[in-house]
Amino acid sequence: YSSDVIMSGSAMGTKGGLSVLAFLDENANGVMDTGEKPLPDVTVSAPQFNVMLTTNEEGEAFSHNIPAY
């Protein structure tokens, strides 16, 4: 979780965001449970938006100002 606030001068109705949480899902339930480890340095690509993200130490990555699809 990040407490960062991102502000933009462009219209918010035509833009979106992309967030990623990468973790080792030891019990394969699709939920990050207590004790499961985040995965840093995972690269995530969204070529339709020309976006490439890399997760931080907490397994998180975020991009804003992505055009509507």
- d(CA 23, CA 30) in angstroms, rounded, equals 10
pLDDT of 16 over the 90 cut: no
- d(CA 13, CA 32) in angstroms, rounded, equals 31
pLDDT of 25 over the 80 cut: yes
Q: Do 46 and 29 form a contact (C-beta atoms < 8 A)?
A: no
Q: 10 Å Cβ neighbour count for 62?
A: 15
pLDDT of 63 over the 70 cut: yes
Mean pLDDT of the chain: 86
Q: What does pTM read for this prediction?
A: 0.73
pLDDT of 3 over the 80 cut: no
